[in-house]
Amino acid sequence: MTTKLFGEPVQRREDPRLLTGQGRYLDDLGREALAAAFVRSPHAHARIRDIDVGPALDVEGLVAVYTWEDLPERVGRALPLLIPHPALTHGRTAYPLAREVVRHVGEPVVMVVATDRYAAEDACALIEVDYELRKPVVGLEEAVHGAQLVHEDVPGNVGAHLVQEVPAPGGHGAREAIEAAPHTLSFRLDIERSASMPLEGRGVYARWDGRDLRVYSSTQTSTSVRMAVAAALGLPLPQVEVIAPDVGGGFGVKIVHPWPEEVLVPWAAMTLGREVKWAEDRREHFISSAHERAQVQHVRVGFDDEGRVLGLDVSILHDHGAYTPYGIIVPIVTSTQLLGPYRVGAYRVEFTAVYTNTVQVTPYRGAGRPQGVFCMERTMDKIARHLGKDRTAVREANFIRPEEFPYDQGMIFQDGRPLIYDSGDYPEMLRMIKELIGWDSFERRPGRGIGIGCYVEGTGVGPYEGGHVQITSDGRVHVSTGLTSQGQGHETAFAQIAAAELGVPIERVSVVTGDTRRFAYAVGTFASRAAVVSGNAIALACRKVREKALRIAADALEADPADLDIADGLVHVAGTPSASIPLSTVAVLANPLRYAFDEEAAKATQFSGTASPDRPPVAEGEEPGLEGRDYYSPIRSTFAAGMHAAVVETDPDTAEIKVVRYAVVHDCGRLINPMIVEGQIHGGVAQGIGGALYERMVYDQHGQLVNASFMDFLMPYATEVPHVETDHLETPSPLNPLGIKGAGEAGVIPVSAVIASAVEDAEGFAVDRMPISPSELFEARRRNRG
C-alpha cells in the first residue's frame, strides 16, 4: 500500500450522478420500448381450466398476448433449481408462465405486451382466466399436517429434511449430553415472514438486433442471468450480454434468477423484433418476488452450573413457500450460523423445509442468520435467567477463546466447505459493547430493559470473483469486476483499493460492476462477499499491472525494477524523484504501435527508437497493453462478528415499545472505507428493527397476502429507527491478502434477538416470538400477569 486511501472515509464516487437525477435505473432506460404486464393468479391454489384472451384483443396499443402454451418448449421449461442439495429430495420450481396449476397468489399466468404500460394493464384486466379452486396450504402447521398438498407429487409437503450432528469431544451426542446435564430447558420460538423490499422493484429490458441480445436487469448477478438466459433461449453465450444498471436496493431478493420475466421479456423482444421492458410494481413485488424469515424452532438445551452449554438440540420447521429455486440455503445457514461465537458441547440440528401456497422463500439480508441468532441468544438469556446469572457472564462462559482460532465447528457451511472460523476476539468485543451501552451501570426499572445479542457471520463465500485493471495512455485506470452493486458503494471502495495498490490518485480510477461486456466471469453480490472476493481479486489484478508497469519503466529509466516505486501516477526511482516516468507513458510503451493516433502514441511507434531491435516488440509471454486480470478464490469463508445491545422502554398502558439506545460493536476485519461500513450497519439495524417490531407478511386462510402494500406492511420511517452508536474491532482475516471480512448483512442479524432480550428484561416474562407489536405485548402481559 503506497497511499493512505485504504481505510479512509473517502466520499462516494457514485453520489454526484445519483444526487442529480442522472442515475440510470432499469425503468429509466428504454423509453421507446414496448411494455410488458402480467395477469397474475388471484388464487393461492387452483387449476387453470381455460384462458380467454379474446376480450383483450381490441385494446388499442396491444401487441401480443402469451400464455404458457404459446411458449416454445425450451422457453416454457420449469425454471432451474439453482442450488441442488442431496437433502432437497423434492425440489420444485415454477414455470415462467403457470402451466395448468397456480400455487400462490401472484404467480404469472399471462404475459401481455403493448405500446405502453397503461395499455398493457388495460388488456390484462380484460383477460378471463377460469380457475378450479383447490384448498390452499397456509402456515407451517398446516403444511406439516400434510392433509392438503402444494405439489401433488411431494408427500407431506416436505421438500427437504436434514439432520446434522456434532458430537461432544468424548463422543456423546447432543441428546445424551442433554440428558446427562445438571440443568435442562426446552422451549419453542417463532419468527414470522418478512421480505427484502428494496424500494426499486425488479425489472428487465431487452434489445435484440437480429443477432445479439442485450438484457438489462435489476439483478444482483448479471453474469448468471446471462448464462441462464442464453440457456433458456438457446443462444450462444457470446451473443448475449447482460447489464445491471444502477440498482435501487437488493437485499437478497434480486440474487434469484432467472425470474420468469428475465426469460420472457428477452424472448418477447426476440420474437417481436422490438425492444421490450417490464418494471415490477409494488403489489407485484409483494406477491410475486420472494419473502424470507418464517421459521418455528423447538429447542432443548442442557448446561452446567456456570451456564456452559453441554448439549443443544434444535429442530427447525422452515416455510419455503411454493417453490425452491434457491434450494435450502436459508435453513442451512440458520443451522450452521446458529452456533455464533460459542463452543457448545454437542450439537444436533434438524430442519424440515415444507411447501406452502405462498410466495417462495429465498435469502433476505441475513439469509437465515437472524433466525439462528434469535434461537441461540434466546437460549443464552434463558440459561442466565434459570441460573440467576448476568446474561453477559453466561455468554462469556461459552465463548470461543481468541487463542483457539482457527476454530472448527465441525459442520459443513453453505459453501459446502468446513465451518472453520478464521479469526476473532469475542471476549474483547463483549467488553467493548458492555462499555458502549453501559451494561454494568444500567438502571433497570419496570418498563425499562437492556438486551444484548451476539453473532458470527460467515462472509465472503466463494467460489470466486475476478478483477480486470487497465491503465490507458491518458493515465486513467479502468477497473471492472463482474459482480453487481445495489448501493454498497463498490465504485468507491474498489477505486480505493486500486488507487492504493497502484499509487495513483483516486480521481483517475473508474470502476464498472455488473456489466458482462466488461467482465464476464462472476458469481454475484450476496453473503457479504463483494469486498472480500472482488476486493481481493482487484488488488491481485492491480499487483500484476503494477509489476508490469515497473518492468517497462525500469527498461525506459534504465533502472532495476526493485528500485522503483509509484506515487501520484508517476513511476520513479526511489530516492531520485527526478528520474521518473508517468504511468500514461508506460501505458503507451506497453503497446507497440505502427500507427500514431496522437503525440503520446508516437513514442511507441516502430521508428521512435524506444524498442530494442534485438527482441520482438511484444516479448514472449507478454501481452500488449498495460492491463491485468486476476481472480480470487477463497479456500473457505471468512467469519465476521458483532455484538449489539439496546435499551428499550415499554409503555405501561399502550404497550408501545421504544428503542431508546442502540449500540453496535462490529468486526469485519480490515475496513476499506469506515463511512461505507457504518452506513451498511445503520441500514441493517433499521431493517432489523423493522423485523423485530413492525414487519410481517400477513396471509389469511385463503392464502391472500392481506397487507401487500406500503400502507399495511410497516417498514420503519425515520421516526421508528433509533440512533445507532458504533464501535469497531479489527481482527484481520488471515485468509485473504487484504485481511477483510465483509459487512453487508451484519447490521440486521442480531436485532430481533437484542430487542427480545431487552423487552423481556423490561417486562419480566419471556419473549419468544418476533416481531412483537404493541397489541401482542399487551396480550402477553395479560397472559403472564393475569
Partner 1 sequence: MEHEITLVVNGTARRVRVPARRLLSDCLRHDLGLTGTHVGCEHGVCGCCTVLLEGRPVRSCLTFAVTVDGAEITTVEGLAGSDGRLSAVQRAFAECHGLQCGFCTPGFLCTVTALLADNPVPTDDEVIEGISGNLCRCTGYQNIVKAVHRAAELRAEET
Other C-beta atoms lying within 10 Å of the C-beta of residue 741? 33
Q: Which is nearer to partner 1, 21 or 238 (CB)?
A: 21
Minimal distance, residue 87 CB to ligand FES, in Å: 36
The answer for residues whose C-beta is within 8 angstroms of residue 733's C-beta and 6 or more apart is 422, 423, 460, 532, 638, 669, 670, 739, 740, 741
Radius of gyration for the alpha carbons in the chain, expressed in angstroms and rounded: 28
Q: How far apart are CA 23 and CA 26, in angstroms?
A: 10
Contact 109, 129 (CB under 8 A): yes
Distance between CA atoms of residues 284 and 301, nearest Å: 42
Nearer to ligand FES, 363 or 487 (CB): 487
User: By CB under 8 A, is residue 198 in contact with partner 1?
Assistant: yes
Closest distance of CB 695 from ligand FES, Å:
15
Q: Residue 23 interacts with ligand FES (CB under 6 A)? A: no
- The footprint of ligand FES on residues 271-310 (CB under 6 A) is none
Q: Give whichever of 432 and 689 is closer to ligand FES, judged by the CB atom.
A: 689
* Interaction of residue 19 with ligand FES, rule CB under 6 A: no
Residue type at 569 in one-letter notation: G
Q: Hey, which residues between 703 and 742 contact partner 1 (CB under 8 A)?
A: 709-711, 715, 717-719, 721, 723-724
Interface region with partner 1, contact rule CB under 8 A, candidates 23-31, 95-103, 254-262, 653-661? 23-31
* Rounded distance between C-alpha atoms, residue 759 and residue 718, angstroms: 21
Complex with partner 1: residue 578 or 719, whichever CB lies closer? 719
Of these, 156, 249, 561, 617, which contacts ligand FES (CB under 6 A)?
A: 249
- Fill in the DSSP letter of residue 273: T
DSSP structural state of residue 79: P
Cell numbers at 282, concatenated: 409494488
Q: Site for ligand FES (CB under 6 A): which residue of 147, 199, 619, 698?
A: 199
Give the position of cell 499491472: 545
- Residue 184's Cβ-side half-sphere holds a number of Cα atoms within 13 Å equal to 14
In angstroms, give the least distance from the CB of 246 to partner 1: 7
Q: How many residues bind partner 1 (CB under 8 A)?
A: 56
Nearest Cα residue to 39 out of 26, 27, 53: 53
Q: Which is nearer to ligand FES, 287 or 570 (CB)?
A: 287
* CB of 606 or CB of 709, closer to ligand FES: 709
Shorter beta-carbon distance to partner 1: residue 399 or 526: 526
Cβ neighbours of residue 510 closer than 8 Å, sequence gap 6 or more = 13, 476, 477, 478, 479, 491, 495
Q: Which of ligand FES, partner 1, none sits in contact with 675, Cβ below 5 to 8 A by type?
A: partner 1
Q: Contact with partner 1 (CB under 8 A): which of 57, 163, 199, 619? A: 199
CB-nearer residue toward partner 1: 72 or 118: 118
Residues 111, 66 contacting (CB under 8 angstroms):
yes
- Find the helix or strand (DSSP H, E) in which 133 lies: strand 128-133
Convert residues 149-188 into a mask of x (bound to ligand FES by CB under 6 A) and - (unbound): ----------------------------------------
Instruction: Assess contact for 461 and 639: CB atoms under 8 A.
Output: no
CB of residue 572 vs partner 1: minimum separation in angstroms? 34
| Paired sense of beta strands 203-208 and 213-217, if any | antiparallel
In contact, 710 and 690? CB cutoff 8 Å = no
CA end-to-end span of the chain: 65
> Which of ligand FES, partner 1, none does residue 578 bind (CB under 5 to 8 Å by kind)?
none
Q: Give me the residues that bind partner 1 (CB under 8 A), please.
A: 11-12, 14-16, 18-25, 27-28, 31, 116, 118, 197-200, 246-249, 251, 281-282, 486-489, 675-676, 678-687, 709-711, 715, 717-719, 721, 723-724, 747
